[in-house]
Structure 1
C-alpha cells in the first residue's frame, strides 16, 4: 500500500471511529432513540469532571453526595474522599448514574454557566443538568448510632440498600473480572471515617427505612443488592437467610405483607426462591447473568460458573418466573463486556447479534433483561481494557428494548423512574 493510500485508510478509519463515538452524529443516525438516552450512555462511558464553578453550586445540605453505602467503587481512586455530587438529572428526568473522573481524562465537564449547570464537551454545551437532591433521612442516625446515609442511598424515586458489602466468589480469587466489589470493600474499611461495616444490622435497615418512608411521594420502590455468599447447608443458604431477615425487618413498616421491593441476588435454587417469595414481602427478583455466552461466562464470571454454571443460571431464572410471575423477574448484563479482549468477540456486529439472541431466549421464558454500560473500574482485572463504541451501546439498548416490546414484558422495578442505570429501560417510558 502506498503512503498516500495508507494515509487515506487511516483517515477513513479515524472518521468511522469518530462517527461511532460522536453524540450528535448518532442522534441523527438513530432518530427513534431518545437523544437524552444517547447522551446518557456517552456520559456513563466517559464519566464527568466537576469544575470549580459547578462545585460552587453543590450544597451538601441540599444535594446528595457520593456516600458510604455503595458497594461498587469509583472510576478514579484519586477522588475517593472528595465531596462530590452523587449523580445527575437531565431535563427530561433521565437519571445518569455517573462516575466522577480526573480532568485529564476524556470526560465531559459539568460547569456553571449563565446561571445554569451544563454538560460540556470541548467547550460546547450539550445539556442542562441538575444534582440529585438529598433525602431528609440522610442527616439522621439509627438507635445504634449509625448515620443513615451509610445504610441506604437514594435515587430520585428509589431507595437503595447494599446490606452485605463483600462477595465470596473472591474467596478463591474467582470474582467477576469486571468487578471491583472486593477492592471497594478493602478501600472502605481502610478509609471510612464513620466506621465501615461489611454487614448491616437489619434493625438499622428497618429504622432507616421507617424514616425514608416519612418522605411521602419520594420513593416508589426499594432495591436490595449485595455480594454473593456461598455459605450455608446448601450453597447460598446463608445469603437467603440474611435477606429474609432484612426483608422481614423492612416489612415491619407496612400493614400488608407484600410491598414494592426488588432483590438483586445470586441465582437461587427453587427451595430458596420459594422461601424468599413466601416468607417475605418481596415482589421482584433479579439475578444478573452478566454475559450471554457460555464460554465468556466461564472466563469473565469464574465464581458464578464454578458454583452455578451458565445453563443452570438460566434454568433458575425460569423457575423464578414460575414463582414470582412473568415480568417480575429480571436479569442484567454488563453491556460491552462481551467485547473484552483477548477472549471476547472480535467485532461489534458479532457481539451484538449473539447478545441479542441470548436476550430473546430469556425473554421467551418471561425474563426481562437490562443492560448496564461497562466501565473498566480501577482495581478490577479489566481496568485497562477499552470499551466499545457509543454506536454499539445505542444499538444494544435499542435491540433489548425492541425484544422487551416484542414479548410485552414489563420492568417496573428497573425502569427509568426507579433505577436510571439501564439505557434500554429508559426507553420503556414509551412502552405501551
Structure 2
C-alpha cells in the first residue's frame, strides 16, 4: 500500500505542476475525440484560467491521472507539460519524457438538457467532479465601474471576451433550481453559488431566491449549498444565509498581508469594510455556521509563503478552512504576463496547509462541503492518506 501511496504522491506533484504551468497542446488533437458529446467540455464560468484566447475552440475541462487525480485543463503553449494524442489515447509528457496516459472526464447527462425557459443546463451549472456542481450566476462585477477591480482578477475580461454564447450570462433562480434537481438525480451532492461583486442588498435577496428555488425543485431543505459572498457590513446578515438553507458559506479574503490586500483588492477595502472587517466577518461566520463550515481563499503566490501560512493557521484556529489555490496571472487582469511561484513552492504550501487542517480537526467531509470542487491539492492529500480514491479498492476512477 505504501508503494501505491508513493506513486499517487508522485502523480500529485505532476498534477500540481500542470495546474501552475498549464498544458501545452494543439487544440486540433481534440477534434473528433468526443468533446461536448462523450467527454465534458469547458464552459466559461466566472474566470478563464487558460492563458490564450479560445473563442470558438473546444477544450476539455480536465483529465484524470492513472491513479484517479483530477487535473484541471489550463491551456498554455509555453508549458513544459505537453498533451499528445496517439491513436485514441492521450499521453502526458514533460518535455520529451512520456509520463503516463490520461483519461478525459465523461460528460454528465444533464449537459444535454435545457431548462423550462430554454437555457442550456451546462451553462447554468458546471460539473466539477465527485458530485460537486458550480453556478456562476453572473460575471457582473460592479467594481469595474468604479475602477476598483481586484488586480489579479479577469472576471470582467471573461464576460467581455466570451459573452452569452459561452455561458457567461445571468442565471435566474428557477433555472438554477431546475438544473440542480436534474444534477442531483444524477448523483450531485453539493452546489456552490458564486458570482461577481454586486450591491449587498441585491446579493442577499438573490441568494435567498436561489435557495428557495433549489429547495422547491430538489425537494431538499438541506441541499448542501455554499454561498460565496462579499463580507457583509452588517454581520447579522450571516444568520439569514444559514436560515435560508445554505450549509456552508465562503468569503474570500484573498491576501493575508493587509498592506498587499489594500493595494491588490481596493474594492474589498472600500465596499466591505477593509481587511479587519473581512476577518471579523469570517470569525463571526464560523460562530454562526460552525467549525469547518466556513471557507476562505488566498491567491497562492501573491504574498510570501510565511504570510499565507500565518493566515491559514489563524483562520483555522477560528474554525475557518482557508485554501491557497495557485495564482494564475490571468489574461485581462492587471497581472497578465506576470509569473506565479514555481510548482515546488505551491506544493510545499499545500502540504503545510494540510498539516494545519489536521491540527485544527478539519475532516475531509468538511473540506468537500466547503469547496467549489473536490480536486484541490489539499483534498487530494486527504484522499491519498485516507485511502479514499477508487484505486485503493481496485476500482476504475469515477470520471
Per-residue CA deviations over 1:309-361 (Å, capped at 9, x if unaligned) read 111111100100111110111111110111xxxxxxxxxxxx22222112111
Deviation at 1:411? 5.1
Aligned: 1:202 with 2:167: no
Q: Does the 8 Å contact 2:297/2:324 carry over to 1?
A: yes
Q: 1:385 to 1:319 in 2, by over 3 A?
A: same
Q: Does the 8 Å contact 1:74/1:80 carry over to 2?
A: no
Structure whose CA Rg is larger: 1
1:381-400 superposed matches below 5 A: 381-400=334-353
| Corresponding residue for residue 84 of structure 2 | 111
After TM superposition, the score normalised by the length of structure 1 is 0.81
Q: Does the 8 Å contact 2:8/2:67 carry over to 1?
A: no
- Partner of residue 151 from structure 1, selected from 116, 120, 124: 124
Q: 1:352 to 1:116 in 2, by over 3 A?
A: same
CA distance in 1, matches of 2:220, 2:41: 33
Q: 1:316 to 1:418 in 2, by over 3 A?
A: closer
| Corresponding residue for residue 422 of structure 1 | 376
CA distance in 2, matches of 1:304, 1:132: 36
What SS does structure 2 have at the residue aligned with 1:36? helix
After TM superposition, the score normalised by the length of structure 2 is 0.88
Per-residue CA deviations over 1:171-214 (Å, capped at 9, x if unaligned) read 2111111100011111233xx437853x2111111111122222
Q: Does the 8 Å contact 1:368/1:411 carry over to 2?
A: no
How many residue pairs get aligned? The number is 377
1:320-335 superposed matches below 5 A: 320-335=285-300
Deviation at 1:383? 0.6
- Partner of residue 273 from structure 1, selected from 207, 231, 238: 238
Q: 1:120 to 1:56 in 2, by over 3 A?
A: farther
Q: 1:337 to 1:208 in 2, by over 3 A?
A: same
Aligned: 1:164 with 2:131: no
Aligned: 1:62 with 2:38: yes
1:123-272 superposed matches below 5 A: 123-157=96-130, 158-189=132-163, 192-193=164-165, 197=169, 199-215=170-186, 217=187, 219-229=188-198, 231=199, 236-268=200-232, 269-272=234-237
Per-residue CA deviations over 1:22-56 (Å, capped at 9, x if unaligned) read xxxxxxxxx79922221111101111133444544
Q: Unpaired runs of 5+ in structure 2?
A: 1-5, 388-399
Runs of 4+ in 1 over 6 A off after TM superposition: none
| Corresponding residue for residue 396 of structure 2 | none
